[in-house]
């Protein structure tokens, strides 16, 4: 069958395989709300500029709203032979209002139309992701406040390094998410220019008002170059980049939850709501939600790599290659939305095992740095000498199979004669974390202040 929507240049229809590779309605139908919003703004401008008569404008507006209602109710029929959402809406509009529908496309091309639709969809989605990330920040800050003094091991190289608090660990992810939200907002600000009116690539000879359509659609301004307007997919790339970094942050936390919930660590508990069982091993409680968050980071990063590869060799202006921007972007940003929701639920749900965490916090000579700092601070040793003395003491304790605090004072004085009984005050994990009062440190008082500060900021309307 021929494609009736673009007129008489083609005498016959596309080959079956051409229809298969060309059609995008299966995925771009989700742009229907944005497509209708753009068309309503466009036709209103055409009327205001005197390009279309009032009667036609009214008919088109009424028809578009009728199409919108059909789509929202589920009664709209998406036809594969009409290729995409733009042709599908226009075809149904023609059935409803007749020949006047053909005037809607005056001074517009599918090239600027799809760029506008995509920007609107990405903008809406970035706003939702920002709100979801703020919700996860709140959950983490609340958990941090509740566990500002709950000690746990801090790791480097996944080896016990120094004691920290569980609240401090939670706040690390609050900071990461703050940067993620900054990237979402930066991407939103840069994309907020309206391509509508750039037409196919060169602009139009009709006396349109692009500032009016930009304002009607909530854009800051129209795009300044018609070629760039239809050729640009930076907004999708930047959004996918921000999404990828956020997904990596969530994946790192998910990895920790997988490790922490294992029997070998037993640091935290997740409820039945975010775990699953085994088909053969009745004792199992698998952290599947965390594992899936970890896995979905791959498809999100993959979408970014895919679109970068699509765009890298395209000459100006529009090429059909750019149809491949949609599926990956839709999938990746919606996957991130799901990951944020799942992680928020897990954070609210999880409970740290304080006894196990405290015991682990003292293992692996985690207060060795506190001892070295004490030697510098109280005895005036150069840090390198203090490091050497502490290393000897760790070796002595390791040979005996005890902690540093179990060494006797005479044993300590073998390594450094000036050591006094006062050294034992810095060797407990509680004393260690309490001493870390530098800005951004893990001291419980710091953690409480930071958590309360974040909760206050997140309670503000523009947070």
Catalytic residues: 157, 278
In sequence order, what are the beta bridge partners of 84?
none
Produce one character per residue of 338-366: b if its CB has 16 or more CB atoms within 10 Å, e if not: ebbebbbbbbbbbebbeeebbebbbebbb
**CA–CA separation, 373 and 390 (whole Å):** 10
**CA–CA separation, 436 and 433 (whole Å):** 5
Residue 278's contacts (CB-CB under 8 Å, 6 or more residues apart) are 284, 286
**What length does the chain have?**
463
Radius of gyration of the chain from its Cα atoms, rounded to whole angstroms: 30
Residue 401: φ, ψ to 5°: 70, 35
Residue 286: φ, ψ to 5°: -95, 135
Position of tokens 């203090």? 386
Q: Which two tokens stand for residue 328?
A: 């990956």
**CA–CA separation, 168 and 432 (whole Å):** 14
Q: SS3 of 354, please?
A: helix
From the number of C-beta atoms within 10 Å of its C-beta (0-12, 13-18, 19+), residue 139 rates as buried
**CA–CA separation, 422 and 183 (whole Å):** 48
Backbone angle region of 2, left / alpha / beta, with phi > 0 → left and psi within -120 to 50 → alpha: beta
* SS3 per residue for 223-240: CCCHHHHHHCCHHHHHHH
């Amino acid at each position: 069958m021929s494609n009736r929507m673009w007129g008489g240049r083609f005498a016959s229809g596309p080959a079956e395989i051409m229809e298969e590779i060309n059609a995008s309605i299966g995925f771009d139908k989700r742009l229907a709300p944005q497509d209708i919003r753009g068309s309503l703004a466009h036709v209103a401008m055409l009327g205001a500029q005197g390009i279309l008569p009032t009667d036609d404008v009214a008919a088109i507006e009424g028809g578009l709203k009728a199409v919108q209602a059909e789509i929202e109710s589920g009664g709209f029929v998406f036809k594969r032979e009409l290729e995409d959402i733009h042709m599908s809406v226009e075809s149904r509009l023609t059935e409803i209002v007749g020949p006047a529908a053909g005037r809607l496309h005056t001074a517009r091309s599918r090239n600027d139309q799809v760029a506008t639709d995509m920007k609107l969809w990405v903008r809406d989605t970035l706003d939702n992701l920002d709100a979801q990330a703020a919700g996860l920040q709140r959950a983490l800050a609340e958990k941090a406040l509740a566990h500002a003094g709950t000690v746990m091991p801090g790791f480097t190289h996944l080896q016990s390094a120094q004691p920290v608090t569980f609240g401090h660990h939670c706040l690390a992810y609050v900071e990461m998410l703050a940067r993620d939200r900054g990237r979402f907002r930066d991407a939103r600000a840069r994309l907020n220019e309206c391509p509508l009116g750039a037409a196919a690539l060169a602009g139009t000879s009709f006396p349109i008002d692009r500032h009016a359509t930009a304002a009607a659609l909530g854009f800051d301004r129209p795009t300044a170059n018609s070629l760039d307007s239809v050729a640009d997919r930076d907004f999708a790339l930047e959004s996918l980049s921000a999404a990828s970094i956020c997904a990596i942050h969530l994946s790192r936390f998910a990895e920790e939850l997988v490790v922490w919930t294992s029997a070998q660590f037993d640091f935290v508990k997740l409820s039945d709501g975010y775990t699953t069982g085994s088909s053969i091993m009745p004792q199992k409680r698998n952290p599947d939600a965390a594992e899936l968050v970890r896995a979905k980071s791959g498809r999100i990063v993959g979408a970014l790599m895919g679109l970068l590869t699509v765009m890298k060799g395209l000459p100006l202006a529009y090429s059909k290659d750019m149809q491949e921007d949609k599926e990956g972007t839709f999938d990746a940003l919606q996957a991130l939305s799901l990951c944020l929701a799942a992680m928020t639920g897990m954070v609210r749900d999880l409970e740290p095992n304080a006894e196990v965490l405290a015991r682990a916090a003292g293992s692996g000579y985690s207060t060795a740095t506190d001892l070295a700092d004490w030697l510098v601070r109280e005895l005036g040793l150069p840090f390198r000498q203090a490091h050497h003395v502490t290393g000897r003491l760790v070796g002595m304790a390791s040979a005996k199979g005890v902690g540093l605090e179990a060494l006797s004072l005479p044993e300590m004085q073998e390594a450094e004669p000036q050591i006094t009984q006062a050294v034992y005050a810095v060797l407990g994990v509680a004393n260690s974390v309490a001493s870390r009062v530098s800005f951004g440190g893990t001291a419980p008082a710091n953690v409480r202040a930071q958590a309360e500060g974040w909760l206050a900021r997140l309670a503000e309307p523009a947070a």
